[in-house]
């Protein structure tokens, strides 16, 4: 039996239900959330696509903005706004981007793919993590990702579209490990390691050039460090693509939040760190 992984996890027309959970995370918006919202507004066409593609369910998000998808203070609208960044916010520069929109969307979507088996997103009021991945246990538990309060609490530095989307990548890469038969937990920092976190919260950064992966091939591995990723690495690479290689319309506040999150992880979360940091020349 595989173990649980703990990481750091609309106003629909003619539809009504209630959530089995009661939301208790503080509500509100960060500057980055407000700036991105000003770009896309209440885009019904997009959020009616998003809740299905990413698999956000009314039974989980009903009292967290699922039926109030145009209220940017609430958790579900913040989630679909973050997804908008994944779908449309990257430049896909073959000469500079680590990976492309095709990689990041397929990784973040709920459906089974080369990246992971089918999964969905749930909220949690846990304040001690950013998110968590839960593997499938027959009869007892479906495979899913939980997104935690610090991704939505305005008092948290991670309450921004980039960090939220970055956690989509991180948790789903645990799903990649699960699907492909690799250890799905993080690692403990060895005595000579550079990770500053205690417990199973550290990863290796498997350095590669921007030309190493054709867009769409992020899921591939040869089973060695030459072609491999860790959850924190995928997250850092995505965040640096948001920071350094975004579409021109991505607000500066979103780019800055992405860089701050990525660079903090680069310094603190890698056994062989610091890893690549946003703003540095891209390795080839």
Per-residue pLDDT of 76-94, as tens digits, reads: 999 999 999 999 999 999 9
Instruction: Give pLDDT tens digits for 161-206.
Output: 999 999 999 999 999 999 999 999 999 999 999 999 999 999 999 9
Q: Is 3 helix (H, G, I), strand (E, B) or coil?
A: coil
Q: pLDDT value at position 139?
A: 87
Q: What is the pTM of this model?
A: 0.92
Residue 3 reports pLDDT greater than 80: no
Instruction: Give pLDDT tens digits for 38-81.
Output: 999 999 999 999 999 999 999 999 999 999 999 999 999 999 99
Q: What is the DSSP string of 55-121?
A: TB-HHHHIIIIIT-TT-TTSHHHHHHHHHHHHHHSB---TTT-SS-HHHHHHHHSSS--SS-S---E
Q: Where are the domains of the chain?
A: 5-268
Q: From the CB of residue 248, how many other CB atoms can be counted at a distance below 10 Å?
A: 5
Encoded tokens for 161: 């579209």
For 126-140, what is the mean pLDDT? Answer: 94
Instruction: Give pLDDT tens digits for 237-258.
Output: 999 999 999 999 999 999 999 9
For 23-29, what is the mean pLDDT? Answer: 89
């Amino acid at each position: 039996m595989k173990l649980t992984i703990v990481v750091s996890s609309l106003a629909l027309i003619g539809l009504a239900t209630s959530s089995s959970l009661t939301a208790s995370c503080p509500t509100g918006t960060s500057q980055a959330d407000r700036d991105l919202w000003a770009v896309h507004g209440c885009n019904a066409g997009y959020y009616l696509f998003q809740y299905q593609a990413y698999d956000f369910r009314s039974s989980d998000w009903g009292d967290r903005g699922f039926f109030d998808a145009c209220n940017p203070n609430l958790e579900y609208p913040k989630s679909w706004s973050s997804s908008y960044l994944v779908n449309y916010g990257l430049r896909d520069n073959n000469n500079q981007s680590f990976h492309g929109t095709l990689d990041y969307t397929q990784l973040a979507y709920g459906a089974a793919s080369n990246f992971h088996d089918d999964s969905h997103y749930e909220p949690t009021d846990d304040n001690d993590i950013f998110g968590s991945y839960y593997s499938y246990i027959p009869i007892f538990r479906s495979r899913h990702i939980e997104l935690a309060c610090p991704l939505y609490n305005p008092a948290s530095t991670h309450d921004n579209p980039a960090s939220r989307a970055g956690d989509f990548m991180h948790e789903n890469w645990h799903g990649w490990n699960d699907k492909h038969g690799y250890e799905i937990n993080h690692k403990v920092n060895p005595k000579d390691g550079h990770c500053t976190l205690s417990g199973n919260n550290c990863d290796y950064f498997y350095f590669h050039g921007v030309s190493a992966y054709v867009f769409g091939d992020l899921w591939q591995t040869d089973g060695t460090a030459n072609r491999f990723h860790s959850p924190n690495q995928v997250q850092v690479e995505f965040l640096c693509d948001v920071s350094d290689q975004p579409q021109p319309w991505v607000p500066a506040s979103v780019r800055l939040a992405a860089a701050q999150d990525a660079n903090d992880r680069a310094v603190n979360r890698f056994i062989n760190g610091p890893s690549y940091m946003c703003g540095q020349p891209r390795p080839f």
